[in-house]
Structures are given as structure tokens and as C-alpha cells.
Structure 1
Amino acid sequence: MKSFSSIEWKGSAKRSWDMFKNGCGNIMPTLSKLSKAFLLPIALLPIAGVFLGVGAAISSNSGADSFGYFFGTLLNKMGDVCFGNLPVLFCISVALAYTKDSGIAAITAVVGFLVMNGMQAALLHTQVMDTATIFAKTKDGWHQLVYANGGVDWAASGINMQDVISYVSASSLEVAESGKGLVVNANRELIDGAGSVYYSLLWINKIPNGLITSNIGVTSLNTGVFAGIFVGAIAAKCYNKFHQTQLPSAISFFSGTKLVPIVTFVAVIPLSFIFMFIWPYVGMGLAAFGQASGKLPGGLDSFIYEVAERSLVPFGLHHVFYAPLWWTNAGGSIAEAFNSTTTPEAQKAFVEIWMKNHVDIAQAWGITEATEAAFNIIKTNISTQYTDLWQSMGDQTMAYKVIANIKVLNFTDLEHLGLNIGRFQSGKFGFMLLGLPMAGLAMWLNVPKENRKEVMGIYFSAAFTCFLTGITEPIEYTFLFLAPWLFYGVHMPLAAISFLFAGLFKTHVSMTVSGGFIDYIVFGVIPFFGSKAMTAKSAFAILGVSAAMAPAYFFSFYFAVKYGKVMVPGRDGSASVALATKADYKASKGLNVDGSKIEGSKSTANKADAAEEARVQKATKIIEFLGGESNIVDVDACASRLRLTVKDGSLVDKDGIISLGGATGALIRGTNVQVVYGGEQEAIKPRMIKILDEQRKVKK
């Protein structure tokens, strides 16, 4: 038997490693585009979240039928509708991201989304039991119902409909009396403990009501954002492949872009069946995961989440990671929380705290004491009267739906059902309000005294931006690309600790995208003072966490930068550090990028022309440093980075790109290149696309 020598083993291992690296490099552009796609709907959420939070606070503190009530409800619904339609928004965004912002692809994605959900609606039905096996319970006992002409013959059954307490499908009266029958409603539909109907789809029975929802008016599976992402990807694929297709003359009318929605219409059929086959099981599995992770001791679930989420930030893939936890039942579910609370003690404990928090609603619903029956009344009323709240899933979606329906359910109530809403969000406030700003202060204090005044603006503006809005890129990427060990060895562990304590203290403060002061006011202060949505500890413990993280970040970064000899901006002895890009700075002085004087730079018009010329020259140089037009496959941009796909990453001159100014760093992974600018990328992207088009036309 032939054996490998050590050299052969090493050679084989090296080839395997190279294949793995190449595979990762090819995956990165796809994941990068997916992350960029998520930014479009995410960008809408801040304003929607503010409207929802402020509207809920106004309406809940205004009298019925008053101006304040209607105005607050108006704001609330304007924000709420965005979160209720996240799946189709993600569907459109993915289609746009993979097709260079094609409007045809966006419309096609909506068509595909409607077709997929329409197929599910056609095959989805409630479980109706046979008429010969229905028994009704009254205060006098059990009675078998007699059916005639499609309905119950109450006279023949010997009871009045108004006297019925419950209905059961059972093989005999003895089975019904034993409590082993199947509980149904007046329409003979199988129901759960909250009175919500179970659904059947193909061969799968007893699908919980929480896994069914209305997707833009179509009753279908509640797939969260997952189905939207897949449909958007299919629409994009169909567009890219068929939008230039020429059909035979007899059917040429359907050529080109008209062919795309037709192909997509057919292409989503197998996808719809795949979701129908597996999603009921996947959905129930995700719900089980959400419940299990919520039962981890202390804030361990929050800690683990942040280690993973922050680790993906440098690659721009953190949006892909947190999407399921924020917007699907992987992050928890209201319906599942109620349905999994089955012990009498837990049910009574919930009712007791709920009655204290909702006195008026308790009276309206006839609940006067903490009993199992009262628990079922609450479940039934919420599941039938507040279906959006009942079916909500995902950490952020649940938070927003609770704020929108604070009169019937709040965060404190849900703690008693095992739901720590905010566990994947509120930890950000700890390091965004004070932690990273203090890290910025620590870096600034490491700058030589003679340079501090010159660089004060860049550090303090970045720190204030982080505090106010939660935008961390200017600070994070400064040390990420100068010394990655600072990010992974100092920042990531501290951020995870912030989440650990936020989860431990059950701080139910939600957010839009980032945990800045504005979000804290909207989702912490206003819900607490406006409607007592949470306890004082929940609302204000986050400030204590933030206060604790401030010195932790300051001293960690101060000594790490000092003794690690990290050359943060201004520390290398240069005082020429500014927020403006190098091209903008030279243009304002009447100079080109190469330092030559711009002719006629004294006039305002000429200065504008010079600035544009400088930007064009910069874009041209970037193309050159990327290996030229022939090496560039795609040009894109996100919130802070220029994202590029090239044929050969080894041809990219990273130092050359950074030397042009404005960039705080560049990252190359296989064929994926990311250059961090923090704003200028939005000006560079269209100019690069235009220059590449011109260069390719000349080649033709």
C-alpha cells in the first residue's frame, strides 16, 4: 500500500487550503452584495421607527377620539406599515442590488413574490373536522351536535348555541368527557389553546397560526424576510440572463425586458413548493431555537450574539447575520411564547402582572383574578383582535409591535413569558453612547500635544456622531485598518461585555439601526415616561452599562495605542489630517490632484469645475490601481465603503488607492475589494462607472 511522504502531505494540505481561500474569495462578492441589499430597507427603518415610537406614545396618552389620539395613531400606522411589509421590501432590494439598480428587476421581484405567496394561499386551508364527531360543552354537560342542511340543528341537539362553552371533535362522548378530544371552534375548525385555527398545507397538519400571516394581502406562510430574499435573487438572475434575449419574430413582442417577469413567474414555482415542503418544519425549528436561546443564563445569549455580529462588521456581513434574529422567529415569537407557557403557575404569574399593568383592559375583558382561564382569555383576545402583535416574530419586530399595542401588552408582561425583548439590540447603547467616543478621546490623547489642535475636529466630530446617531464607522475603521488587533482584541470583547450586561439587566430598549442617543430617547425614554412600557430598571440600566463601558474603553484604548505604538491620525508627526478628502482639499486651493495649479481657479464656477475634474482624475487613478478596466467586474458602494469585484485580486495596488487620499483603509479578499471612505464613495462610484463605460466603448 502506497503512503504519502511528509512533503506530499504538506503539498496536499497547501492545495486544499488554497482551494478554500479561493472559494471564500469568490463567495465574498456575493455576500457583500447581499449585505448591501439589506441596507436599502434598513435605511428606511430609522424614520419608520421614530414615527412608530412617537405615535404610540402620543396615542396611548390621549383620550379616545381626541385629536392627539388620531394624530398619534396616524404616525404609528405610518411607521408600522414599513415593518409589516419588510419581506417585500427585502425582495425588491435584493433584486436591485444584483442588477445594478434595475427598475424592471424590482417590478419582477414583486410579481415573483405575489406568485409564490399566491400558490401557498391556494393550498393553505384550515383543518375542518367531520360533522359526525362534534360535541358541545355547556354548563349542563356534554352534548353531541346534530347537523342538517350544512349547519347545526340546535333543536335536535337539545341545546342553545348561546349556552355552548366549547366544542370538541371526539370519537365518542366518553372521549370528549375525558378531555382527550380535539378542540374545535363553532365552524368545526381545529384550534389551539388561544382559539386560533390550525392550518394544513399539502400533507402537513397542525401548522400553528403564528406561522401564517398576510403578505401584502395574501394569506400565506410567515417566512419573515427569507422568502423575499430568495425571490429577489431569482428575479435578479432572470433579469441578468434574459433582459437582452431576442425571441423569434412571431413572438418578438415578448423579447428583452418583457421576457423577464414571464420567466420569473415560472421560476418561482419550484421555490414556492420548496418553502411549502420545508418551511413549516424550519419555522417550528427556528421558533424552538428562539425559545432555547432565550433561556440561556444571564445575558449569555446577548454576549454570544455580539461576538459573532461584531466579528462580521469588517467584512460588511453583519447585516446578513442579524437579519434572522431581528425579523424572524429565530429571535423569538409572541405566539410561541404564549403557547409554550403551559404550567398553571406560570400562567397565573403572567396574569397577575398583566392585570396590574392593564387595569382598564382587564376590566373590559372581564378578568378579575389570576387563573388559567384568565390566561386563555388573554391569549384568545390578543390572537383574534391584535393579530399583528400575536404573529410578530424577531427581536426588533416584536419590540415595535409591542410599542404599537402597548395598551394590551408590554415588555414587563413578556418577561414572565420568557421573552427578553431587546436582547439582540440594547447592548449597542452601552458602547455607542460613551464607549467608542471615549476610545476616540483615548486615541486623541496619544497624539503629540503640538498636533492635537489640528486633529481635534476629526476625533471629536466622529465621537459626537457616534454618541448622537450610533454611526461607528469613523472611529471603528480608524483603528481597524491601522491595527486590526485593536478591533478583535479590544473592541469586540468590550462590545460583547456591553451586550452581556444589557441582557442580564433585561434592558428592553429597541433601536432603528444603531444605538445612539436619538434612538435611546425614542425607544427608551419616551416609552417609559409615555406609557410605562417597561420598568425603570429596564429603561435606565442601559445608562449604567454605558457609564461602565466609558472608562473600560478609555483605558483599554489609551494604553493599547500607546504601548502598541499604533500610528493613529496625527500621531505620526503629521498635522495635515482633515475630514475632507485629499482631492477636495486640493481643489479648494485651486490645485489638481497632482499638485498643479488649476487654470482660472479664482472664479466660483472654475473652482466647481476643478473639483469635478479632481474627482474624475481620482476615479480614473482608482481604476488604474485596480488593475485597469479589464480587471474590473463590478463597482458598487454601501454606507461607508466602495465595494468592487475584480478578476484578479493580486493586480490591485492597495497602497496606491490609499495614497490618493480620503480612504482610511482597504481590504482585499480574493476577488472582492473594499475601500473604506465614510461618504466619498457615493461620489466615486458613479464617476468610475461612467469612466469604465467610456473606456469599454473605445475598446469596441
Structure 2
Amino acid sequence: MKERIQAFAGSMMIPVILLVVAGIFIGIGSAFANMENVEALHLGWLIQEGNFLHGFFVIINDLGFMVMRFLPVFFAVGLSYGLARKEKGWAAFAGLVIFLGLNTVINSMLAIHQLTPETTTVEALVESGYSMLEAQNYNSLFGTVLGIFTYDMSIFSGLIAGIVTSMIHNRYCEKQLPNALSFFSGPRYVIILVSIVAVPVGIVLYYIWPYIGAGLASLSNFITTSGLIGTFVFGAADRALLPIGIHHLIAFPIEYTRVGGEMLIDGTVFEGVRNIMLAQMGSPDASEYIVRNFTTGRILFHFGGLPGAALAMYLVAKKENRKKVASIMIPAILTAVLIGVTEPIEYTFLFVQPLLYFLIHVPLSGLSYVLTEMLNVSIIGTAVRDMFPNLLQPDKVHAMSLLILIPAYFAAYFFLFRWAILKFNIKTPGREEGEGIIKLFSKKDYKDQQDNEESKNPDKKNDQIDGIIAALGGKSNIIDITNCATRLRVKVKDGSVVQNNNTWVQSLGAKGVVRNDNALQIIFGTHVITLAAQVKERLGME
């Protein structure tokens, strides 16, 4: 079960890449499509309403909102693809089929019970005897997806479609039928099955979704009324669950569904804090981003805390090893600050001494969310990569307190890490005797792991790919390989023949390994997507 949850969490990262694209498009498009903002930027001489440049930025802005509008579809396809073990293209197609199928079934069931866009308006419901509040709550159950009037299930409809598809696809994608029906064997058989399964799934959802929707509304109300205690719990849990790879499961509902709240912006209701902030970015009437967004706290440990911890580990290292320590710390910190991926630096101290992680980093992470909320910080992005839109619409940003909070977090991490390392003689990089479990990479070693260097050095690349396969017990021992943002996720037949952590870290460039019987998560960093593709190509997998 744990393995399946981890695979599910990793697969959800596939469609989320589109949210990065949406943020960039909306940030740039809305900044230059809004003529008031154009005038404020003194670009009215170049961009004028109706000219080519203005039309271009309107298109860019609309493309960004397209991602948000069709997010359930992207989740259905992306999750089906990510959870499939073989024939992933067919699985993605099947996910789209069942997504449209179950929504069509719900549409038919609604019509049978005289529930249409006309009969479910607030006005029509009030005329039929509902109170205004009851009518508004009931009306919120419905929406339109790709022109289909159905329940407004947000990304949950895509998640349901992806899960059901993967269960059917993984079991029947190699199904063989009698010769007369052989054309319909394999993945084609899956397409037939999902078309049929869409009927009972759609009918079941028709009857149970109103109760699920009510439950989500109650959960949303609890989260939004729990105050700073709820904020701290969320922030601490987000980091505490990182080592087992399911931290996304906490963030996703709050960021992309009504669990994170709803807001009416320019006549459209947006659900989830991430979607709300993107909509505010694109709205000419929004004056600031929401403060209680369960993300801004990351800025404090991305820009302050983790660099402070890295400096502490650098200064407590032996003098002769400091250059080597810097060679792994600097790229890891740049990855956190520029991209927002913190695993390289977090795993540097997690695998050496988990108490540094759980007794210092986790509580301070939870506190960072509380502090940014208390001081009303509202800003887009938690890493440099995502913060460009703030430069184009600075009037929506309220973040002056970060000028104090970030240095304070730098100091807190620095002094606490330095004290703990020296007090308990923790063998962080550069302090171990002889060859420690964590190899001190040189700058060249680290760069050689990146995609551009691998392409220039095919012999090194081949050695690493062959080494990964051998360390997993060989081709015959490997059942399945996938990846998330930074981890290679592998299922093997016999976990006991997989090489130990020393081999992975010292010889194969990994940051560490998380084991769960025959399921492994091998942390490589952001270039893992290329490694995964190369390993699967070598193995003859999709």
C-alpha cells in the first residue's frame, strides 16, 4: 500500500508541470495585456490596445488560463500515464476515454432527474423552494467540463479517472484473446474495458459525489478556520513526509481543489490556493495575493534557512575538506533558491543525522508558514524561477517583512545546525573519518551529473546507466521504473540483492536511498527524468 501511495504521489507531479507554464504565461500575459499596467510600466508607446503586441500578450494570458480550466483533463491523462507500467501511451488515451465517459454518464443521470444548467441556477432553485443559502450551496455542485454539464469535481474527476484506468490497464494491457478477436487484444482490450467501466463508475459518482462534496466543504471550512495552528501543522507535515515521498498528498488538495478554499475572481470561481493566486495574477482588479496560501513559508527556508544550514556544515568541516564541501553545498543551495527543489541539501543532512532534519528543520519549516501568514506576506512564487511575475505587477506584492524574516531564518538555521553538529559530533560532509557514507563531490563531479555534461561525455553516461542497472540486481530483477521530480522510483523482485547506500552515493551519484522492502526511491536530483528515460531505454522498457 505504501508503495502505491508513493507512486501515486510521484505521478501527480506530471500534470503539475503545466502549472509552472500557466504561471509564466499568466504572469507575462496579464502584465502586458492590462493597459493600465502597461502605462504604469511606461510601455504605452510600444504596446497599444488592438496592436500586434497587445494581441500576442492576450493570447499568452488566455493560454495560461486554459491550463487552469482544463486541469482535470490533464490530471486524468497524466496520472494514467504515470501509473501505467507498460504501454503508457495507450494508458493515457484510456484515461481520457474514461474521464469523458464518466462525466457523460453523470450528465445523462442529471438529465434523467431533470437537473440541467437551467434548473440548477440559484434563481431556479429559489423559485422551487430552496432558501438562498441552500440554493447557492446546491448550485456549487455543478459545472461544465469540455462542454459536458456535470458535477464540479475539480481535479478529483481526473484523479478518479487516472486511478481507475491504471488499475484496469496494468492488469489487462497484455490480455490475449482468441484468434478471431486478436485485433482487440492487449491495450485495445483496455480501451474497450474502460469504455464499459465508465458506466458504473459514473453512476456511482452521481449518487455519492454530493456527499463527498459536502465532506470537502467541511474539511475546507476546518482548514480555513483552524488559524495559525493549522498552518503550522501543514508546514511541519509537508517537510516531515518528504523522506517517504508522499508530501505532495498534503499539498495537492489545498493547492488545487476546494479544500484550499474558493474565491470569485472576475466572475469565475477558482478553487485551491494555487489556482486562486494565478487568477489574481491575471486579474486587473486584484490588489494583492491571498496571504493564507500554505506556500509562502517555503521562501524562508529556501532563501534563508537552508543556506544557513549549508554555511554551518561548511564551517564545521575540516579545513582541508572545505573546498569539497562547498562543491556540493553551492549547487544544492542554488537548486533550492533558483528552482525550489530542496531535496539535494535536505538529504545531505537527513541521511547523516535524521535528528537534524526532524528536530530542527521540520519545526522551523512549520514556523516559517506561520510567520509569513502573521506578517501578511503576499507574493507569487517560492523560488527565483517562479517570481518573475512579481516584477511586472509589484503593486500586488506585499513582502517587505521578508527583508527581516529571511536573514533571521538564515541566522537561526546557522546557529542551531552549528551547535547541534559540534555538540553531538555529527559527521556531516567533511567531518567524517576516512571514507564516509556521503561522498564529497567536486564541482566537476556534480556538473557531470547534469544533462548537458552527460550528453558531452557518453562513456560516463553509459557507465552510470549500466551501474544503476547492475546495482538494482540486473535487468531480471527490475519490475518497474518511474520517477518524480528528484527520485528514481523502482520496484524490484528481490530487494536484498540491491546494492547498499555506499555504492549508490559514492559510485553512482545518488544523494541517498529510501527503501521499503522491494520498493526503492533513489534520490538523484532534478536531472532524474533524463536518467529514468536512459535506464528504461537500456532495459527495453517504455
Q: What's the TM-score bracket when you normalise by the shorter of the two chains?
A: 0.7 to 0.9
Q: 1:422 to 1:80 in 2, by over 3 A?
A: farther
Q: 1:463 to 1:686 in 2, by over 3 A?
A: closer
Structure 2 partner of 1:84: 69
C-alpha displacement of 1:244: 2.7
The residue type equivalent to 2:328 in the other structure is I
Is the Cα contact below 8 Å between 2:101 and 2:198 reproduced in 1?
Answer: yes
Is the Cα contact below 8 Å between 1:398 and 1:421 reproduced in 2?
Answer: no
Provide the C-alpha distance between the structure 1 equivalents of 2:123 and 2:335, rounded to a whole number of angstroms: 61
Structure 2 residue 286 is matched with structure 1 residue 320: no
Is the Cα contact below 8 Å between 1:128 and 1:190 reproduced in 2?
Answer: no
Structure 2 partner of 1:307: 236
State the structure with more CA Rg.
Answer: 1
Structure 2 residue 362 is matched with structure 1 residue 492: yes
Q: 1:691 to 1:183 in 2, by over 3 A?
A: closer
Structure 2 partner of 1:632: 478
The residue type equivalent to 1:652 in the other structure is V
Q: CA RMSD in A?
A: 3.2
C-alpha displacement of 1:551: 0.8
2:427 aligns with one of 563, 567, 583: 567
Provide the C-alpha distance between the structure 1 equivalents of 2:12 and 2:291, rounded to a whole number of angstroms: 22
Is the Cα contact below 8 Å between 2:312 and 2:417 reproduced in 1?
Answer: yes
The residue type equivalent to 2:92 in the other structure is A
What secondary structure sits across from 1:566 in the alignment?
Answer: coil
Structure 2 partner of 1:246: 176
Structure 1 partner of 2:441: 577
Structure 2 residue 145 is matched with structure 1 residue 183: no
Superimposed CA distance per residue, residues 153-176 of structure 1 (whole angstroms, 9 cap, x where no aligned partner): xxxxxxxxxxxxxx989xxxxxxx
C-alpha displacement of 1:691: 5.4
Provide the C-alpha distance between the structure 1 equivalents of 2:245 and 2:164, rounded to a whole number of angstroms: 23
C-alpha displacement of 1:246: 3.0
What is the correspondence of 1:35-74 to structure 2 with a 5 Å cutoff? 35-60=9-34, 61-62=37-38, 65-67=49-51, 69-74=54-59
Superimposed CA distance per residue, residues 320-349 of structure 1 (whole angstroms, 9 cap, x where no aligned partner): 2211111111111126xxxxxxxxxxxxxx
What secondary structure sits across from 2:482 in the alignment?
Answer: strand
If the length of structure 2 is used for normalisation, what is the TM-score?
Answer: 0.85
Provide the C-alpha distance between the structure 1 equivalents of 2:140 and 2:123, rounded to a whole number of angstroms: 22
C-alpha displacement of 1:56: 1.8
Provide the C-alpha distance between the structure 1 equivalents of 2:172 and 2:324, rounded to a whole number of angstroms: 55
Structure 1 partner of 2:452: none
What secondary structure sits across from 2:377 in the alignment?
Answer: coil
Q: 1:666 to 1:612 in 2, by over 3 A?
A: closer
Structure 1 partner of 2:224: 294
What is the correspondence of 1:494-533 to structure 2 with a 5 Å cutoff? 494-511=364-381, 515-522=382-389, 524-527=390-393, 529=394, 532-533=395-396
Structure 2 residue 324 is matched with structure 1 residue 457: no
Is the Cα contact below 8 Å between 1:62 and 1:69 reproduced in 2?
Answer: no
The residue type equivalent to 1:229 in the other structure is L
Structure 2 partner of 1:149: none
The residue type equivalent to 1:563 in the other structure is K
Provide the C-alpha distance between the structure 2 equivalents of 1:37 and 1:246, rounded to a whole number of angstroms: 28
1:283 aligns with one of 191, 213, 223: 213
Q: 1:269 to 1:615 in 2, by over 3 A?
A: same
C-alpha displacement of 1:427: 0.9
What is the correspondence of 1:600-611 to structure 2 with a 5 Å cutoff? 608=457, 610-611=459-460
C-alpha displacement of 1:471: 1.9
Is the Cα contact below 8 Å between 2:14 and 2:82 reproduced in 1?
Answer: no
C-alpha displacement of 1:310: 1.0
C-alpha displacement of 1:631: 3.8
The residue type equivalent to 1:283 in the other structure is G
Is the Cα contact below 8 Å between 1:435 and 1:552 reproduced in 2?
Answer: yes
Structure 2 partner of 1:11: none
C-alpha displacement of 1:583: 12
Provide the C-alpha distance between the structure 1 equivalents of 2:150 and 2:362, rounded to a whole number of angstroms: 40
Is the Cα contact below 8 Å between 1:664 and 1:677 reproduced in 2?
Answer: yes
Superimposed CA distance per residue, residues 521-552 of structure 1 (whole angstroms, 9 cap, x where no aligned partner): 42x4543x2xx335xxx333344332321111
Provide the C-alpha distance between the structure 2 equivalents of 1:517 and 1:609, rounded to a whole number of angstroms: 32
Aligned residues: 514
Q: Once superposed, which parts of structure 1, at least 4 consecutive aligned residues long, lie more than 6 Å away?
A: 188-191
2:105 aligns with one of 81, 103, 119: 119
Is the Cα contact below 8 Å between 2:238 and 2:251 reproduced in 1?
Answer: yes
C-alpha displacement of 1:687: 5.0
Q: 1:496 to 1:459 in 2, by over 3 A?
A: same
What is the correspondence of 1:165-176 to structure 2 with a 5 Å cutoff? none
Structure 2 residue 524 is matched with structure 1 residue 677: yes
Superimposed CA distance per residue, residues 610-639 of structure 1 (whole angstroms, 9 cap, x where no aligned partner): 324423441343133xxx545432222222
What is the correspondence of 1:638-657 to structure 2 with a 5 Å cutoff? 638-655=484-501, 656-657=503-504
Superimposed CA distance per residue, residues 624-673 of structure 1 (whole angstroms, 9 cap, x where no aligned partner): 3xxx5454322222222221112343443323433424122211122221
Provide the C-alpha distance between the structure 1 equivalents of 2:234 and 2:208, rounded to a whole number of angstroms: 26
Superimposed CA distance per residue, residues 195-214 of structure 1 (whole angstroms, 9 cap, x where no aligned partner): xx95xxxxxxx753333222
The residue type equivalent to 1:39 in the other structure is M
The residue type equivalent to 1:308 in the other structure is A
Structure 2 residue 83 is matched with structure 1 residue 98: yes
The residue type equivalent to 1:517 in the other structure is V
C-alpha displacement of 1:94: 1.4
Structure 2: any 5+ residue segments left out of the alignment?
Answer: 40-47, 450-454
Is the Cα contact below 8 Å between 1:28 and 1:672 reproduced in 2?
Answer: no
The residue type equivalent to 1:478 in the other structure is T
C-alpha displacement of 1:491: 0.6
Is the Cα contact below 8 Å between 1:95 and 1:105 reproduced in 2?
Answer: yes
Q: 1:579 to 1:50 in 2, by over 3 A?
A: same
What is the correspondence of 1:194-233 to structure 2 with a 5 Å cutoff? 198=135, 208-233=138-163
What secondary structure sits across from 1:569 in the alignment?
Answer: coil
What is the correspondence of 1:415-564 to structure 2 with a 5 Å cutoff? 420-511=290-381, 515-522=382-389, 524-527=390-393, 529=394, 532-533=395-396, 538-564=398-424
Structure 2 residue 39 is matched with structure 1 residue 109: no
What secondary structure sits across from 1:662 in the alignment?
Answer: coil
Q: 1:311 to 1:53 in 2, by over 3 A?
A: same
The residue type equivalent to 1:578 in the other structure is S
The residue type equivalent to 1:509 in the other structure is I
Structure 2 residue 541 is matched with structure 1 residue 663: no
